[in-house]
Amino acid sequence: MGEYYWEQDPAFKAKLKKIAFQKLLFYLDKFEAQVKNNGGYFINSKLSWPDFMWAAYSKRISFILTRNMNQNHPELKKLVEKIRALPKIKAYIEKRSKIQ
């Protein structure tokens, strides 16, 4: 992902983006199944650090690749929505500075 993000040559960057999508889709399908099989969470059917990490990283990856990584993965999308709806997380998101 980093190589794609920092690449300066537009033609090579387009090739890297295609490769990144292919690799990412492989893992997204696995993550989707993991969350689905664990009651909406990554581990032990309860909230844990991997859930928070996914909520943060999926937003960053979506920004880098200009595509919503959770769009075709409903379980991952619901997980991110659950994390972002936690009262303290929600309050932080509302108060933090807006960056793009």
Does 74 or 13 have the greater pLDDT score?
74
- Please, what is the average pLDDT of the chain? 89
Do 40 and 79 meet the contact criterion of CB atoms below 8 Å apart? yes
**Taking a C-beta distance cutoff of 8 angstroms, is the pair 76, 35 a contact?**
yes
CATH number at residue 70: 1.20.1050.10
Q: Report if residue 2 sits inside a domain.
A: yes
Q: How many CB atoms lie within 10 A of CB 54?
A: 22
pLDDT band at 18; cut points 50, 70, 90: confident
Q: With H, G, I as helix, E, B as strand and everything else as coil, classify residue 46.
A: strand
What pLDDT, on a 0 to 100 scale, did the predictor assign at position 42?
Answer: 97
How far is CA 32 from its chain centroid?
A: 11
Contacts of 38 (CB under 8 A, 6+ apart): 44, 45
**What does the pLDDT read at residue 54?**
95
Is the pLDDT at 61 greater than 90? The verdict is no
Q: Domain for residue 100, yes or no?
A: no
Q: What's the structural domain count of the chain?
A: 1
